[in-house]
Structure 1
Amino acid sequence: MTTQSQESAVKPLFGFRALISDLADWIRRHRMTLGFVLFITLFNVGMQLVCGIRHTQFPPQLSRVSFDALAHGRWYTAPISLLSVPHLGRLLIDIPLILIAFGLCETVIGKAKTAWVSLITTLGGIALGMGLCSLFAGKSPQWHAISHDGAILGPLVVVVGTLMCASAFTAMLWRRRIRVIGYSVVLIMFLYRGEAGDYCLLAAALIGHVLGYLMASESQGDVYRHGALYEMRRLIGMAAGVQAFGSLVAVSSRQSFGLLSMFGLLTGSTEFDTEQVLDCLNGSSHANCFAQYRMMRFTMPGNWLVSLMPTLMLLLIAWGLYRGRRIAAVLSVLFNACTVVLAMLFYVVLPLQYVGDSQADTLPALARHGAFHAMFSTMALPLIFIVIVIAFRQCFTIRTRSEIMLRAVAGALSAFLLLGLMYVGYGLASPEDFNESPQLIALLADYAQRLLPIGLLSGIEPEFVPVGQISLLVYQCVGPAFWIIALLCVWECLRDRSMVNDASRHRVDAIIPLGGESMSFMATWEGNDYWFSATGRSAIAYRVSYGIALTVTGPFGDPNEYTEDLTDFATFCTQHSWTPVFYSVHEPQRAELAKAGWDSLDVGTEMIVNPDEWQTRGKKWQDVRTAINKAKRDGITDVLTTFKEAPFSVQTQIREISAQWAGKKALPEMGFTLGGVDELIDSRVRLLYAVDGNGKVLGVTSWLPTYRDGTIIGWTLDFMRHRTDSVNGIMEFLIARMAERLRDEGNAEFMSLSAAPLAGMGSNKGEHEESEVLRHALQMVADIMEPAYGFHSLFRFKLKFHPDEEKVYICYPDAAKLPQISLAVAQAYVPSLTPAEAMRFVRTITPHD
């Protein structure tokens, strides 16, 4: 056998086996990355074992780099510190980041460049980072901890500079993402934690960025671009995420030296002493003046839950900004404005209550103990963020319906009032449950405190504390209850809403006769959203899930607008923070999208029959000819009608056949490009069913029309069902009879057998690696559903009619969205999958002895 014949005999891999093969290929191409990860893992695990045996702390002092160690010639602490992690749990974060970052570097710039770029950026990062740390932190009270105790640098310092360098060799879209996400993570560490290793991390990133700029011979740009507004809203959303996570980084760090760490410490906890506020203001103490009563409140779970809620709200608002929601921009401005006001109250106004007006040195005392520095540091980021959001308010174009916002405001306000009435009423009715009998004004003031983070209450002496079990429960629960309701109200305003309405469907019904492709009629089905062209003579149907706007085939309506529709729809999607993906489009649309830089992948083969050339002579037609002859002998006839025109008994039997068919499947009936009984009711859809001499319906097919200038030019097979006990060949008989009818009518240009979803996919030479992975992932979805739906058997069945084969494609602009695309396709086909149905499906695909 020749080499060519041997290659053709090799069966392509699909599904799980293909993904495993992809993983094996990735491992072979990234041995250096895997070796580095393995070495770091073994190094830290081994160090942990040694420390455990010797009963010493982990990590040991040897792994901490400090100015004293470097000054005394202990240079070896630097490389050891680069390989060390503060605790083994940190490996769960660092290892995936290293695999992604170093793996990308190996792919983009190669192993050799990855190695020497990593060496340069690491050495330069340590030198520059330690210098910057000395410059900015040398005069701080915490300098002893930085200078003498030392810090663990961690393996991310080795990776970040190389990643920034490699980003210069990627496409513009990837380059922008790598840098924004990379710098966001670095700035979280630097601004909110500020340890020596964070200075090195920032310095290594900057050096790698500059090195990549110098190494790149020319700038690589996108062919497909999202647009300035879309990119800016994403950057602002990411920055808002940094703001939210930064506070968590600050309070989780043992040493918070960052420039903005005071902002994060608003939600933190520290030691307290109720006697120290006056001492601080009188100048007799240099302790932290703003940490009183915090630990008392922190011991109550309800209080620290309230301290976490603002972070969750910031994350939710950041998500809304990322998605381009206008209400998120408004909430961001309001939330940050409240932070500014509260910072002024917390650091300056409230401490003044401890001294009288006769204290002439009150303000100097506050300044001496860092109140103004802390206040301005806390206010800086919120103020900057307010300015940015207002300046770029035009980026946030997606509006929330007024009734949704009114309902959310009413819900939050009602919760605030009702919880307040409950808290105040209980306090007045049960004064014995508190250490002192609370008064109305004190209860109202304390209720407001119950809604604030612990950090904001550090300098406030409580008027009373609960002593009973019920009072303690009420004291702790009103705050979390309000924040949970507020979060739910904001979520209701920010989540995507369906834009389908009756008016849109009427417009689609008017447009569909103007023109379309063989599967365009599927756009009229329920569950689709619609985009209309500026002229209103063409449209595109789509469904949104996982951030993907997945189209139902290509444009339909006026064919002269199809090319422009592709571009305009993509712009529409980017304005709504969706990634446009065209599904089941034919070659003309694929070619147009390819010109714009889109990637494509064939996801099936459509079977086309020419009715004018229909015949069943010859050996290859034996199966079809046998089915026709058998049906005639058994007295089976075919009836062409519509569902509404069919007798009631026929309608009932069709529903029964469909229920019988669906009952055998582990999953519910599919949708998207596969119609069910509901899609048969349309009077424009033809119904061809087989019935025996007793009036028993044995099988049924539906045929969707394709129009051109108001005239039907072809029919597409959709619905196929038969009784479980019907004679063999009933579907072959119905399809053959439809071909004969169209041939005899003589007014149809084609008869399409449609395409089995995700079946008949091929592998193209020169296919991008990303497209190959997507093909494998989609094929895996098809393989999982195959036992339930029989995609591949359906594909093979249609080959019996010897049709002309035309590929249909999925076209996507962004390879970073491959996981979401796979999920969106699966979600589109099975949108109503319940846990019980999923378990049935799992049992179906589990092999049995």
Structure 2
Amino acid sequence: MTTPQCRRAAAAASVWYLRAMALLNVLAVLSVPLRDRVQEHNEGEYFTPYLLTAGLVSAMLALCLAVAMRRRKRAAWIFNTVLTALTLAGMLLFLLVPDDDLGFRHHWINWASAALTALFLLALLVGRKEFTSKGDRSNPRTALATLVGGGALGTALGMALVQATGAGTGADFSDRLGYVVARFVTLDPSEKADRLLQVPGWVDATLNVTAAVVFLSVLYVAFRSPRGRVRLTEDDENRLRTLLDRHGERDSLGYFALRRDKAAVFSPSGKAAVTYRVVGGVCLASGDPVGDPEAWPGAIGAWLAEARRHAWVPAVMGASEEAGVIYARHGLNALELGDEAIVEVADFTLEGRAMRGVRQAHNRVRRAGYTVRVRRHEDIPEPEMARLVADADRWRDGATERGFSMALGRLGAPADGRCVMVECHDAHGELRALLSFVPWGGKGLSLDLMRRDRDGDNGLVEFMVIELLRRADDVGLARVSLNFAMFRSVFERGDRLGAGPVLRLWRATLGFFSRWWQIESLYRANAKYRPIWEPRFILYEKSSELLRIALAGGRAEGFVTTPRLPALFRRRTRVDS
């Protein structure tokens, strides 16, 4: 019976062994003497260690297996165990054969190589229970189809190129096929193939790259994580609404947990929940857990267990400082993402020099004859709501509906009757802009949707926000959460006297990217209301995963789009939590 510490040590040792094999393969690819020595051993009377063949494909295989094993994927453990056992069996067969003419048993390095492979197999067996992360059920079937289809296409391409460009005498079909296969697996074919065929260097490079692409595709579909559920169940949504009724005033982003492209994990007591969406293998939660803060640790623990069970990378976008502290106790690291702009109705005023720009914009729009109407969604007749939804879709910037952590992703649903619609009409009664807010507890609103007609006058949004604040008593409003300002502190401190060169450089970099992603403009649009700035954080487990998390967050928010995969690579299965 092995102890948990022993199992963890064995699992870690197997990962480091694969990392070492990946490094040796890369060195063999880059170093001609080492590559020649490994190739000589593989073709002569010696064994090289498990997965070491001085080839780019072997380097990628060892590296991908190391990554999959580090994430404790069960499929990677099965693949390694089977392949290692077969390799070791082949080694022992040659080492124990009584025919001395083969020579393998007379070289100590072969015994050392077999012992190293046996130790790796032992580490795999001892650490077996550590590899519990589930993969998608369709992965083996899809990987096999990818290997057969991609291998056939790559081989056909290689045969055509070798036939068209190869020079030499005495090379038949089997020789050309052997050359192509050798180029797929290693950087150098056998000595016999070199004598029979002389192929241009660009053909060899094409064969190597083709093999790498096919092999990466196979590894991707073989070890990819499951997608997870893509929407809330009706029962989950009802439970979340109950929690929001009791504790919704704690987090301005709480209502966005009801997005129907999220799944929910509840604490054992059922008093709190974490909602998430899986994007590119990243289990992306948003905002604070919903419900009683005393039950947050249970919900966070259940969410992390769900992520580890499927080898998802856990991450949180837009958590408050209070939730960030609890997430940190569960092993996550925090990085300030930006600030949320919150306006307290009781403290808001248009008086003073600091509010001059907003005051002038409001007065200019009011003199132009614009009017504002504020209503709950439930008070808007269905045909009128349909027209508002159609106008909002027509004014949307681009075909993609953006938002994830601070957007509901739908407008006009009957279940969202407590949401508030702010409509702006011109002097002729034509709708020119609209804002939609979701409930934030009993006396707060959080901005969900902001759309305007491009032909309308400037300042419509400021006019609508101020009119909403002035009519706060009509909807029982005490505070409003406006847009999120990413990297707000950088823009604020970077403009101050005495800002250092690093801060100014970071400020200039963000200003450059603001030409496409409106980073600075959102900060300026929020700052004009003199709000209270509440910091929001991104939570992550490992710094090496930040780029992957950023890409997943960009995809979830609609700022990053990825090309649609061919049907072969798409998954149809879902994982129920």
TM-score exceeds 0.5: yes
Question: 2:289·2:296 contact (CA, 8 Å) conserved in 1?
Answer: yes
Partner of 1:646: 384
> Which structure 2 residues correspond to residues 420-819 of structure 1 after superposition, within 5 A?
485=214, 488-504=217-233, 507-508=236-237, 510-515=239-244, 516=248, 517-525=251-259, 528=262, 530-542=264-276, 549-570=283-304, 572-573=306-307, 580-593=314-327, 600-611=334-345, 613=346, 616=349, 618-619=351-352, 627=361, 629-639=363-373, 640=375, 642=377, 646=384, 648-659=386-397, 670-673=402-405, 675=407, 678-683=409-414, 684=416, 685-707=419-441, 712-746=442-476, 748-760=477-489, 782-812=510-540
Query: How far apart are 1:233 and its partner, in Å?
Result: 4.7
Q: Greater helix share, 1 or 2?
A: 1
Which structure is larger by alpha-carbon Rg, 1 or 2?
1
Q: Deviations over 1:98-120 (max 9, x none)?
A: xxxxxxxxxxxxxxxxxxxxxxx
3-state SS in 1 of match to 2:488: coil
3-state SS in 1 of match to 2:119: helix
3-state SS in 2 of match to 1:313: helix
Counterpart AA for 1:686: V
User: 1:265 & 1:763 partners in 2: Cα distance?
Assistant: 59
* 1:504–1:489 distance in 2 versus 1, CA, 3 Å: farther
Counterpart AA for 1:680: L
User: 2:151 & 2:395 partners in 1: Cα distance?
Assistant: 55
User: 1:513 & 1:484 partners in 2: Cα distance?
Assistant: 50
| 5+ residue gaps, structure 1 | 1-226, 257-263, 273-287, 292-303, 350-360, 424-432, 470-475, 765-771, 836-849
Q: Greater strand share, 1 or 2?
A: 2
Question: 2:230·2:262 contact (CA, 8 Å) conserved in 1?
Answer: no
Q: Residue 315 in 1 paired to residue 63 in 2?
A: yes
What is the TM-score when the length of structure 2 is the normalising length? 0.70
* 1:379–1:311 distance in 2 versus 1, CA, 3 Å: farther
Question: 2:56·2:185 contact (CA, 8 Å) conserved in 1?
Answer: no
3-state SS in 1 of match to 2:454: coil
* 1:761–1:468 distance in 2 versus 1, CA, 3 Å: closer
User: 1:255 & 1:499 partners in 2: Cα distance?
Assistant: 47
Q: Deviations over 1:301-327 (max 9, x none)?
A: xxx999543343233222211222111
Question: 1:325·1:399 contact (CA, 8 Å) conserved in 2?
Answer: yes
Question: 1:605·1:756 contact (CA, 8 Å) conserved in 2?
Answer: yes
Q: Residue 246 in 1 paired to residue 17 in 2?
A: no
Question: 2:7·2:126 contact (CA, 8 Å) conserved in 1?
Answer: no
Q: Residue 386 in 1 paired to residue 110 in 2?
A: no
* 1:338–1:595 distance in 2 versus 1, CA, 3 Å: closer
Q: Deviations over 1:155-212 (max 9, x none)?
A: xxxxxxxxxxxxxxxxxxxxxxxxxxxxxxxxxxxxxxxxxxxxxxxxxxxxxxxxxx
User: 1:720 & 1:656 partners in 2: Cα distance?
Assistant: 12
Q: Deviations over 1:197-255 (max 9, x none)?
A: xxxxxxxxxxxxxxxxxxxxxxxxxxxxxx99888655532321212333554687687
Q: 1:400 aligns with which of 124, 135, 140?
A: 135
Partner of 1:324: 72
Q: Percent identity?
A: 20
Query: How far apart are 1:560 and its partner, in Å?
Result: 3.9
Question: 1:548·1:580 contact (CA, 8 Å) conserved in 2?
Answer: yes
User: 1:577 & 1:625 partners in 2: Cα distance?
Assistant: 53
| 5+ residue gaps, structure 2 | 159-167, 200-204, 494-499, 564-577
Q: Deviations over 1:722-745 (max 9, x none)?
A: 333422432122112322443223
Query: How far apart are 1:649 and its partner, in Å?
Result: 4.5
User: 1:816 & 1:403 partners in 2: Cα distance?
Assistant: 28
Query: How far apart are 1:641 and its partner, in Å?
Result: 5.5
Q: 2:81 aligns with which of 327, 330, 333?
A: 333
Counterpart AA for 1:338: L
* 1:443–1:829 distance in 2 versus 1, CA, 3 Å: closer
* 1:565–1:647 distance in 2 versus 1, CA, 3 Å: closer
> Which structure 2 residues correspond to residues 107-122 of structure 1 after superposition, within 5 A?
none
Counterpart AA for 1:406: R
User: 1:330 & 1:393 partners in 2: Cα distance?
Assistant: 9
User: 2:341 & 2:176 partners in 1: Cα distance?
Assistant: 75
User: 1:454 & 1:325 partners in 2: Cα distance?
Assistant: 30
Counterpart AA for 1:608: I
User: 1:801 & 1:420 partners in 2: Cα distance?
Assistant: 64
User: 1:330 & 1:527 partners in 2: Cα distance?
Assistant: 33
* 1:588–1:447 distance in 2 versus 1, CA, 3 Å: closer
Question: 1:269·1:454 contact (CA, 8 Å) conserved in 2?
Answer: no
* 1:479–1:737 distance in 2 versus 1, CA, 3 Å: closer
* 1:651–1:810 distance in 2 versus 1, CA, 3 Å: closer
Query: How far apart are 1:405 and its partner, in Å?
Result: 1.8
* 1:388–1:421 distance in 2 versus 1, CA, 3 Å: same
User: 1:798 & 1:437 partners in 2: Cα distance?
Assistant: 73
Asked which structure has the greater RCO (Cα within 8 Å, sep 6+), the reply is: 2
Q: 1:236 aligns with which of 14, 25, 35?
A: 14
* 1:828–1:693 distance in 2 versus 1, CA, 3 Å: same
Question: 2:225·2:311 contact (CA, 8 Å) conserved in 1?
Answer: no
Counterpart AA for 1:384: L
Question: 1:545·1:827 contact (CA, 8 Å) conserved in 2?
Answer: yes
